Amino acid sequence: MMELTGKIEQITAEAEALGCYTEKGAVLKDYTTFKIGGKCDLLVRLNGEESFARLIPLAEKLGVPYYIFGRGSNLIVDSDGISGAIFVSGTDFSDISLIDDTSILCTAGTPLSRLCIFALDNGLSGLEFAYGIPGTLGGAVYMNAGAYGGEMKDVVASVRVMDRNGCIAEYPADKLDFSYRHSRFTESGEIILSAVIRLKKGDKAQIKAQMDELMEKRRSKQPLEYPSAGSTFKRPEGSYASLLIEQCGLKGVHVGDAEVSVKHSGFVINKGNANFKQLMELIDIVKKTVKGKTGYTLECEPLIITDKKL
Ligand SMILES: Cc1cc2nc3c(=O)[nH]c(=O)nc-3n(C[C@H](O)[C@H](O)[C@H](O)COP(=O)(O)OP(=O)(O)OC[C@H]3O[C@@H](n4cnc5c(N)ncnc54)[C@H](O)[C@@H]3O)c2cc1C
C-alpha cells in the first residue's frame, strides 16, 4: 500500500507539472452516468496529447493499475472503490476543427453532442444518429457506438492512437475492425487520441430536424430522468434484449434501488442509491431468467470496472 502511495505521488506531481487537474481519492460515481462507484487513489483529467504520452507510460513503468474513462456513460464501477489511477479523457481534451469541406478532426475527449452540433453548424450530414449518445468521441470509437441505423464505423475515416508505451500511430478505417459494439481497441489496449470524421454535405434544416426527431424519440422511449449506462445488454443475435426482458416479466424488477426500467426494459436504472453489488445481482437475475425462459444468452454492454474477480 505504501509502495502504491509513493507511485501515485509521482504520477500526481507529473500530472500537475503538465497543468492537469488531479484529485486524490476522487469518488467515481461523480464520473459515471450510472452514479455508482467508490473512490480511486488518483484521478487525472488529461489535457492534451502530451499528458497521455507522459502519464500513461509512467503508470506502465511504475506498475500502477489504471483505467481510461471518457464520459463514463458505458461503465459500471465498483462501489468499494478501485485501486490505482483513473485517467479521464474528457472536456479538458476537446478540440474540433474542419480539415476540408466534409472532414472534421476531433480529439478524443470531445462530447459527441458537441461534435454533432459542429457538424450541423457546418452543414455536414451523417452524424445525426449520434446526437443524444452521452459519450465522448474516444468512448464512441472504442465501443463503435450506434443508434437508429447509424454507427461510428460509418463516419470514422481514420484514428490517431498511442500505445501504452507512448508510440503514436494512425490507422485508416479498414484497420479499425469495427463490428457491433466492438473495435480493434477492445482488444489492443491502444489509446484513442483523435479521429477524422468524414461526412457529406447536407441541408442544415434537414440535419437539424433529424437530430431533433431522434432526440425526441430518446426522450419519449428512454428513462433519461434516471442515472443509467444506456442499454444494459447487447442485442443478442436474432432478437432484442428489451423484448426478451419484457416477455420474461422482468419490467420493474429491482434489487435495492437498481431497477429494470418500466419505461424501457433494456435499461437498468439507478433509482437513487443503488450500489455495485445490487446492480450486479439484478443483472444476474435478468440474465438467468432470460436464459431459462427463452434460451437467449444476454451479454452486458457496459464495461465492468472492479478490483474483484467476478
Ligand atoms: C442515456 C444513455 C443513452 C445511451 N445511448 C446509447 C446509444 O444509443 N448507442 C450506443 O452505442 N451507446 C449508448 N450509450 C452508451 C454510451 O454513451 C456509449 O457507449 C459511449 O460511446 C461511451 O462513451 P464514453 O465517453 O462515456 O466512454 P466510457 O463509458 O467512459 O468508456 C467506455 C470504454 O471506452 C474506453 N475509452 C474511452 N475513451 C477512450 C480513449 N480515448 N482511448 C481508449 N479507450 C477509451 C474506456 O476505457 C472504456 O473501456 C448510452 C448511454 C446512456 C447513459
- 241 and 300 housed in the same domain: yes
CA–centroid distance, residue 3 to ligand 1 (Å):
32
pLDDT at 309: 83
- 87 and 40 housed in the same domain: yes
Ligand 1 mutation pick, 40, 75, 87, 133, max ligand atoms within 8 A of CB: 133
Q: What is the reported pTM? A: 0.97
Are 242 and 262 within 8 A, CB to CB?
no
pLDDT at 310: 79
Q: Which of 172, 207, 242 is the last residue of a domain?
A: 207
With a 6 Å cutoff on the Cβ, whether 71 touches ligand 1 is yes
Ligand 1 mutation pick, 35, 73, 220, max ligand atoms within 8 A of CB: 73
Mean pLDDT by 10 residues, the chain (310 residues): 85 98 98 98 97 97 97 98 97 97 98 98 98 97 97 98 96 97 95 98 98 97 97 96 97 98 98 98 98 97 93
- 229 and 194 housed in the same domain: no
Assigned domain for 263 exists? yes
Which residues constitute the domain of residue 13? 2-92
CA–centroid distance, residue 293 to ligand 1 (Å):
30
The CA angle 146-149-151, to the nearest 5 degrees, is 30
Q: What is the CATH number of the domain that holds 255?
A: 3.90.78.10
pLDDT at 3: 83
Assigned domain for 310 exists? no
Q: Which of 37, 60, 92 is the last residue of a domain?
A: 92
pLDDT at 92: 97
Q: Which of 207, 239, 268 is the last residue of a domain?
A: 207
Assigned domain for 212 exists? no
Assigned domain for 112 exists? yes
